[in-house]
């Protein structure tokens, strides 16, 4: 596996409160990684450390081969961050917001690049309007477009669809998938379990300062007990050989489908099991 992010034994405390105790994970280049957790689990703290906005108390983390503490400048050169709330200037137009970021990053052919991002994010018609007139979905798209100026290798999306209506949330999902297909590594934090299930290649569950489960959405589902199976009873020649026992009892099944739980049930079960384990100590 070609890891672009590597986190080992990450720790962070605020006064006497341990927020991150021993966090470990790796993220493959060009993938979508979702970090799940309840409010206060430490998701945003982890993102701030990885994006060099906060120093850890222990452990180490590397992005693009660079240490986030010792080589923070090099890390910033290959990442970008979109926070929970759109960081756009509402007085300026969408075009002006993009132009300022491009100037700060010293992007060549800036006018052309700005036009390309406006078109990519479906903002061309609103490009010369003040951002104060934009809808929530438009502001979020502009915010991500600003984050992508300069083509970062890693994009951190901290609760990217918070406050969006269902239509804009689905549009954002398609946008995120497209970015990953183009090679951008996406680090996503979210409280929407269906969002992680729909988007993520791998999911990690952060609970009380530690990663308590990690894997693909399917792997996490398959690890849950009492899954059962869904059997489609109908006629079919292919079923005769594969499901002989059922046939001998007068039942012909042409399809057997594993009945996996939604990721939300997996998350709640994991959190519940963790609490029960600790109560037994």
> pLDDT for 192-240, tens place per residue?
788 888 899 999 999 889 999 899 988 887 766 555 555 555 555 555 5
CATH of 3-224+263-279, one of 3.40.50.150, 1.10.1200.10, 3.30.1330.180, 3.40.50.300: 3.40.50.300
pLDDT of residue 163: 74
pLDDT of residue 45: 93
pLDDT of residue 279: 43
Domain spans, the chain: 3-224+263-279, 229-258
| Of 105-109, 135-139, 229-233, the least confident | 229-233
Q: Is the pLDDT of residue 261 over 80?
A: no
Using CA atoms, how far residue 132 sits from 1, 15, 136, in Å, is 44, 39, 10
Cα dihedral 143, 146, 147, 151 sign: positive
Q: Please tell me what DSSP assigns to residue 256.
A: E
Is 217 in contact with 263 (CB distance < 8 Å)? yes
Q: Is the pLDDT of residue 255 over 60?
A: no
Looking at every residue in the chain, the average pLDDT score rounds to: 83
| Of 52-61, 71-80, 162-171, the least confident | 162-171
pLDDT of residue 234: 56
pLDDT of residue 169: 81
């Amino acid at each position: 596996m070609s890891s672009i992010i590597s986190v080992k034994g990450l720790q962070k405390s605020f006064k006497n409160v341990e927020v991150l105790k021993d966090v470990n994970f790796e993220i493959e280049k060009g993938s979508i990684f979702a970090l799940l957790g309840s409010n206060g689990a430490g998701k945003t703290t982890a993102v701030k450390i990885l994006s060099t906005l906060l120093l850890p108390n222990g452990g180490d983390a590397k992005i693009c081969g660079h240490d986030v503490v010792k080589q923070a400048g090099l890390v910033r050169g290959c990442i970008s961050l979109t926070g929970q709330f759109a960081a756009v200037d509402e007085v300026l137009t969408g075009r002006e917001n993009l132009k300022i970021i491009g100037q700060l990053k010293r992007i060549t052919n800036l006018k052309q690049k700005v036009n390309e991002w406006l078109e990519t994010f479906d903002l061309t018609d609103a490009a010369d309007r003040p951002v104060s007139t934009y809808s929530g979905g438009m502001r979020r798209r502009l915010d991500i477009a600003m984050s992508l100026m300069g083509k970062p290798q890693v994009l951190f999306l901290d609760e990217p669809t918070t406050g969006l209506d269902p239509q804009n949330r689905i549009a954002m999902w398609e946008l995120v998938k497209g970015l990953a297909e183009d090679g951008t590594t996406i680090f996503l934090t979210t409280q929407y379990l269906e969002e992680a299930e729909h988007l993520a290649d791998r999911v990690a569950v952060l609970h009380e300062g530690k990663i308590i489960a990690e894997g693909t959405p399917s792997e996490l589902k398959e690890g849950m007990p009492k899954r059962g199976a869904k059997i489609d009873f109908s006629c079919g020649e292919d079923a005769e050989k594969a499901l002989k026992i059922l046939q001998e009892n007068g039942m012909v099944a042409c399809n057997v489908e594993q009945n996996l739980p939604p990721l939300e049930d997996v998350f709640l079960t994991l959190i519940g099991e963790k609490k029960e384990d600790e109560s037994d100590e």
